[in-house]
Chain A
Amino acid sequence: MTNLIELRNIKKIFKKSEKKELLVLDQINFNIHEGEIIALLGRSGSGKSTLLRIIAGLTKPTAGEVRYYEKPVLEPAQGIAMVFQHFALMPWLTILENVSLGLEALGVSKKESRQRALKAIDLIGLDGFESAYPKELSGGMQQRVGIARALVVEPKLLLMDEAFSALDILTAENLRDDLLDLWTKSEFKKNSILLVTHNIEEAVAFADRIIVMDYNPGRVRSILHIDLPHPRNSGSKKFQGYVELIYKLMTKTTKAEIIDIGYRIPEAPVTKLMGLVDQIGEVQKAHKTIDLPTIADDLLLDIDELLSLTEILKLLQFIKETPEGNIELTEAGLQFEKADILLRKKIFSTHLLIYIPLTKHIYTKIHDEPSRRISKAQILKDLSAYLSEEEAQRVINVAIEWGRYAELFAYDDNAEELNLENPI
């Protein structure tokens, strides 16, 4: 098989500030062959979308090289097209004009571009919508336009950036099946697709090969060949086996991370943490093993949210990993689950002070101050050595929400000030 794309030692660093640099991608090496469908799977922060943009020629890697048919990619290459998460259709152009956009840029005559666009519209099942504007269409139909717009330029490689994640489950599956159908049965067969996703089932349903990304920094954690013929049955045992395998791969703590005040606290709102503890507790009471895919399904959480929540619960010592790679509530977790609201706040506050350095830092800092108040800016400054300003803001906001709930401290948004006051 010929190599369509070769990635050699790709590395990407985002410069966050003068001193702080964030390593987003590191040591990325893999090839994409002709006619292959690849899924790039990872949670948010794994740099998978950045990698896609590097392959597309939209972003330059800090080091390393992308080669497309042996030639280095320095700008968007002809033959690589992209489908966007939120469709990226021009609202002021009709469906026909949107689809013709790429041909217009290539300087194709108006007549020919019209013919080719109509053919692509036909192919993806959008007949009758040619003169409609995007906003008249449902999300699923809009994404069909996005796909038609990419197909019309006859790409060798189709990049799909979370292309199904903005759609509801039913629509997403329908569109995915249609696309696979088109791919396996037509002239597109010899062309390749690279799909970026954080949805494990989607990756298993779609790809010949799944590249699982590590995060922070983004590296290739493992590569899996999915040995199932299309169309795949998501209910089959083998399919579910793949899904569970990948779940375990992704939740497993692979490295000991240093938890200090610069720890990038993920999005984990108090109510969701509570809800997850309750759910795990219920399953545990029924003496069943806690199966993450099922819990994610029951709570309608996507993998990103689920992983963030379990990460924090693990850190707070409310849950732990079993040797089989499953999770269960700890002693403290069980106590927390049984407690009423006031006791919960108390347990939560104790654990915050012991296990989360940032909340402890804020707490002691307020107490050290004679006036019992400090500005948010001060905490931001303390974090500036670790995080970019934007990220520090986000992390502090999460910590403030926890601290307010646990009644460790109060916050005045007008003055942007942390204090110990309770509103009268």
Chain B
Amino acid sequence: MAAKTDLRRFTGFLPMTFVCLFLLYAPLIIVMVYSFNDSKSITNWGGLSLRWYEEVFWGVESAKFKAAALNSLSIAVVAAISATTIATMAATAMLRAGRFRGKSISFALINLPLMVPEIVTAVATLVFFSAIGFTTGYLTILLAHIVFCIPFAYLPIAARMQGIEDVYEQAAMDLYATRFETFRLILLPLMMPGIISGFLLAFIISLDDFIITNFVKGAGIETLPTAIFGSVKQGIKPNIMAISTLLLMVSVGFVTLSWLVGRMGQNKK
């Protein structure tokens, strides 16, 4: 199509898109590049090296970061599994159970963790645990993570379920399947791409969280983001850039996976 007759085209929109992508990616790429910098000074380029990665895995602070990474990982796995299960049940209730008491308020409730500013959630959770005399630590982090992971798991699951016509379930019931069989044999397999996406997003959200964790973690326990934050407070050191790069790769890897799963699901349909 000739540019003159293309009504989609606005002068300057394409450059602006590139500006947008550049702004989004430049800082990340620079950190990735400088994580391979051999120089001790973080700004002067001293040649390629993996020394900061060695430092991360075997250096002075490695024990601290390894423990933090392990906490982050185990919390993310448990929180994502719990949130995905809860969200799947909730989506089934919202989209497949007709009318029931409290349905109208349920949607707002599920999305509440998205609407309340993170810092307010953090304060409220801390204050609540303190009021009921709960010692802050691993368990409080986990519970808080489950709560704010629910809407992130819910969105892709509900979107997927909305795309599945209920005629498949009717066909299954017509062919003598009980409601449980219908769920297990029809709805669950058809929803699987949504459930996997929901799980992966919840996992990343948990892995990435800083603010809420920072409030409810108590003393003596760190997740990767809080450990990094503590370290950055004394200035950005090259090993932080190496850790950041690793974490960045994990996030990008998971989101790409989630995206591919979602696309697979679409192609199947």
Q: Does B bind A?
A: no
